[in-house]
Amino acid sequence: MNLAREVLRSEEEIAQRITQLGRQITSDLEGKELAVLGVLKGSFVFVADLIRSIRLPLQVGFLEITHSQKSDYLTEILFYSSFRVEGTNLLIVEDILDTGITLAYLQEQLAARGPRSIRICTFLDKPDRRKVDIQPDYVGFPVPNLHVVGYGLDYEGRFRNLPYLGYVQ
């Protein structure tokens, strides 16, 4: 797999957009405490930068989800961080929103834990691939239907450390 020469989003564009997202989240939740829940592994870089742009008291946790080999529709939460969800203003942070199946499942599971509110922030969005009706509250960038890498996203475990977004061919 070769990394394409074309950069989809530069390091500077990413930094600027994350600052804008942080300001918007801060404005939308002014005066409230936030619980940020990052979905591993692809979101870890985005979460780290995003929380530094949010000017609210917050807690941070991470979870990992696995996909069943038998069906796209069966997923399982592998790890759940130990912070309290009940009564919080929860922000689920995802690296990429594609079919929406995983995020819809996660949203349903977390809603059962009694948060005050749930919002979704995705770094990248592929709305044309949606299989379930789920819309993010905050979007970093829409992306074409390519295998995007960099800024935490990988291909076979590689390319997560790129400071920009590219794609593999």
| Helix intervals (H) in the chain | 11-28, 44-53, 101-111
State how far the Cα of 120 lies from the Cα of 136, in Å rounded to an integer: 5
At residue 25, what is the residue type?
I
What burial letters (b/e) apply to 6-43, b meaning 16+ CB within 10 Å? eebbeeeebeebbeebbeebeeebeeeebbbbbbbebb
Is a pLDDT exceeding 90 seen at residue 117?
yes
Q: Which pLDDT belongs to residue 143?
A: 92
CB 57 within 8 A of CB 33: yes
Higher-confidence residue of 28 and 74: namely: 28
Task: List, in order, residues 6 or more apart from 111 with CB less than 8 Å away.
Answer: 118
Active-site amino acid positions? 98
**What tokens were used for 134?**
């789920």
Q: Which CATH class is domain 11-168?
A: alpha beta
Mean pLDDT across the stretch 144-158? 90
pLDDT bracket for residue 17 (50, 70, 90): very high
What pLDDT sits at residue 77?
67
* Distance (Å, whole) CA 85 – CA 52: 21
Mean per-residue pLDDT, 100-114:
91
Q: How confident is the model at residue 70 (pLDDT cuts 50, 70, 90)?
A: low
> Is 106 exposed, middle or buried (CB count within 10 Å of its CB: 0-12, 13-18, 19+)?
buried
